[in-house]
Structure 1
Amino acid sequence: MKKIGIITLNGYFNYGNRLQNYAVQEVLKLFGYYVETLIVDINKNQEKDKNRSLFKKNNSIKERSFVEIMDKINKKIWLSINKKNIEKARLNRTEIFKKFTKDFINETDFRINENNIPSNLADDYEYFVTGSDQVWNPDYMSGSSIYFLTFAPKEKRIAFSPSFGVSEIPFKYQSNYKKWIREIEHLSVREDAGAKIIKDLTGKDAKVLLDPTMMLTKEKWLSISSRPKNVGSTKYLLTYFLGGVPREYRDEINKIVKDNNLEIINLANIKDSETYQTGPSEFIQYINSASVFCTDSFHGAVFSILLETPFIVFQRKGNSPSMYSRIDTLLNTFDLNSRKASNIITNEEIFNIDFSHIPEILEYERNKTLTYLSKALGGKN
């Protein structure tokens, strides 16, 4: 059987990353290929741009209020006091993510990096697919050419809904990005901002496609989900914030909990050690069973739509507008801008959400994506 190799961000800590990797694999398998995810050892490519990270950190501090700074200091003190327990919880969580990967994602037993790419690698695969996730984010991959598939013949390179995660490419990477992107014949991205970057850099048009997680049905996702131990008959509000929960957001969430007599479950809060040690399978079921889901996560919003769970999207604090572009594209595509926290005024609006128009949009967008992939895979049905 002919093979396809996936190049994506490898890691065992982020729900969206693991679930999109699984989704890319499952979609490509529909075309009759044996699909593997190649392990890229990015740490051996280049060091992260420390100056850029420090600049962003300093700017973030300047934008914070006194209350937010004090919250940050108190959090650091708590983390220092509970260092051993936190480390144990994180290690356990990583093992849970690794088990999910072993059970559901077919990874290679070898690694590649800029300085170690097997000479016969391109011959072993019919095609290579880069994506989804922020594989073209210069902050994450430090200008590595691997994520642009430069090791493979041009006719074997396919971009499947990759994301940049930034509004513009730093000058020092622009020359390479122009060259590498121009050499990808089958070009797609995950959000409108990414299409604009490509147009500005190369003059090429890139198709804006669904995130691969949305290519799989609700039933497919529930088939690999697991019910968390602390989910029973009690109704709960679920939170998942990657950028932390600012005090103003906490106040809004606590009011919803109080007004509607809900429990609260915080997925990304290390202080709740048991819930923090949750894997991707439980993540799906947590969202599916929630009365309402509050998040600043793109994939949090994605799974709320797929599972038809009432949700509220908060803008992540300290991030550039470009990071929010993918959520904007998502909500615009599915006519769900009403789910932004800034647009929800009454308590009734929190729970009254109409999903009846979603199946038709999903069908259209899925067909568009399948048509793109079919063409990229040599017209294969």
Structure 2
Amino acid sequence: MHQLGVLTFHQCINYGSFWQTRCLVDGLRAYGADPVILNHHSDRIRRAEWRCALQPLLPVGTKREDFPLYASKIRKFVEAFASLPLTPPFALDNPADLEDFDLVIVGSDEVWNLRHPWYGGYPLFYGEGLAARRLASYAATFGSYPASKGLESYWADSLRKFDDISVRDENSRSIIKDALGLEPTLVLDPCLQFPETIPRSQDDSCVSSYLAVYGHSFPYWFQQAVRRSAASHSVSVVSIGYRNDWADAQWIDAGPDDFARFIAGARAIATNFFHGCVFSLVNTKPFVCVLSDYRCHKIHDLAQMVRAERHVVSEETPQADYDALLGGAPDPVTADQLASLRLRSRTYLNNVLN
């Protein structure tokens, strides 16, 4: 019997998804544990994942010259996945071959998002089919599934089998509280809890020479405001992981390590992704973020948690605010809040592991 298993989305072609997995595994090792990742497999999901990775901007099609770059990005992720401590593969639809565990930790990532385009509604992430003496979650989230929808009894009954529950956002906390009648612990995403795992820039000569753009499908008014601010600070705009034609340069085929070092070396970050905000905070970088429909809950709640609400901008945000936000590091109150949340998260994990 394995002592500790981690169940998450460990093979997504997504920088944040990879790094939350890597950080959680390495963070658990710091507690003296020897975690392995439950290596679930589904041909249907892999095809969906790779289709999305090759055409991430739909309904806008991928340019012909970008297909080799997105394919190269996929290969770099596959190489990175091989570095993770994995169990033998098992079918996501039928986990009967999965080994027994003393404890399985479910999360982080959108493991409970019933609206996830390909993972949504898989009972395994709600603990069904797991051969474990104890179940716990760490920084799990319902993602884009709103608290206002409530949780059907089938899913709520599954979650009642968990011995300990923690979530990473207020939307998820509300869902658990309303459905189960208990108060889950609000904890930090693994990247914020265990930032020492994440590599930093090794090229000091490039520091502060560019503004990093992470995400895609940004509104035009955001693009213009970011470009004006970059010009005022005399830095170029470089997009990583995705094509953004309004940037000065593209680095589409960056791997997970490339991404981490690139963000660490940036002068500032403009994003509409949750982990764009997370990596900005990890590196104490100036940043601005615009909400998107899919990511609005988790970004809004993260900003509130760490007292960084002013970094979330709207069409009404004046240009002077962009210039200030992209020209200076996050407020010291954010660092204080992160320190407090790290202590809470550490206490939760200590209780789960001991």
- Normalised-by-shorter TM-score class: 0.7 to 0.9
Aligned-partner Cα distance in 2 for 1:6–1:137: 17
Q: Which has the higher helix share?
A: 1
Amino acid at match of 1:102: A
Alpha-carbon distance in 2 for matches of 1:234, 1:201: 47
Aligned counterpart in structure 2 of residue 100 of structure 1, from 77, 80, 100: 80
**1:224-264 deviations in whole A, cap 9, x for unaligned?**
x4658xx836711111124x122222211221122222211
SS of the aligned residue for 2:66 comes to: helix
In the superposition, relative to structure 1, how do residues 3 and 301 fare at CA in structure 2: closer, same or farther (>3 Å)? same
Aligned to 2:52: none
- Tell me what 2:230 maps to: 257
Matching of residues 41-56 of structure 1 within 5 Å: 41-42=41-42
Whole-Å separation in 2 of the counterparts to 1:167 and 1:18? 24
Counterpart secondary structure, 1:195: helix
1:28 aligns with 2:5: no
Contact 1:12 1:94 in 2 (8 A): no
Question: How far off its partner does 1:350 sit?
Answer: 2.9
Structure 2 CA distance for partners of 1:221 and 1:250, relative to 1, 3 Å: same
3-state DSSP class of the match of 1:239? strand
Task: Determine if the alignment matches structure 1 residue 350 to structure 2 residue 331.
Answer: no
In the alignment, what sits opposite 1:150? 128
Deviation at 1:359, TM superposition (A): 4.0
Provide the TM-score with structure 2 as the length reference: 0.84
Q: Which structure's CA Rg is the greater one?
A: 1
Give the alignment partner of residue 304 of structure 1, picking from 274, 280, 289: 280
- Check whether the contact 2:230–2:236 (CA below 8 A) recurs between aligned residues: yes
Equivalent in the alignment of 2:104: 128
CA change 1:252–1:340 in 2 (3 A) is same
Q: Residues 55-134 of structure 1 correspond to what in structure 2 (within 5 A)?
A: 75-76=60-61, 79=62, 82-83=63-64, 85-103=65-83, 105-118=84-97, 121-122=99-100, 125-134=101-110
**Matching residue within 257, 262, 267 for 1:291:** 267
Question: What displacement does 1:295 show?
Answer: 0.4
SS at 2:82 equivalent: helix
Distance 1:180 1:42, change over 3 A: farther
Instruction: Show the counterpart of 2:219.
Output: 246
Within 2, Cα distance between the matches of 1:268 and 1:325? Answer: 23
Pick closer, same or farther for the CA change 1:39–1:309 going to 2, 3 Å: same
Between stretches 92-101 and 183-192, larger displacement belongs to: 92-101
SS in 1 for 2:69: helix
Deviations 1:149-197 (A, max 9, x none): 22236741011111101104868x7132111111112011110110111
1:361 to partner: Cα distance: 2.6
The corresponding residue for 1:7 is 7
Partner of residue 337 from structure 1, selected from 283, 306, 309: 309
Which string of whole-angstrom CA distances, capped at 9 and with x for unpartnered residues, describes residues 287-323 of structure 1? 111111100111111111110110001112xx15xx3
User: Is the alpha carbon distance of 1:35 and 1:169 closer, same or farther for their aligned partners in structure 2, counting shifts above 3 Å?
Assistant: farther
Q: CA distance change for structure 1 residues 360 and 288 in 2, over 3 Å: closer, same or farther? A: same
Paired residue type of 1:339: H
Change (3 A) 1:153 1:220: closer
CA distance in 2, matches of 1:340, 1:186: 32
How far is 1:334 from its partner?
1.9
Shift of 1:374: 1.7
TM-score between both structures, scaled by the size of structure 1: 0.79
Does 1:221 pair with 2:198?
Answer: yes
Distance in 2 of aligned mates of 1:226 and 1:348: 24
After superposition, what is the alpha-carbon deviation per residue over 1:19-42, rounded to whole angstroms, capped at 9, x for unaligned? Answer: 000111012112222111112225
Unmatched tracts of structure 1, length 5 or more: 49-70
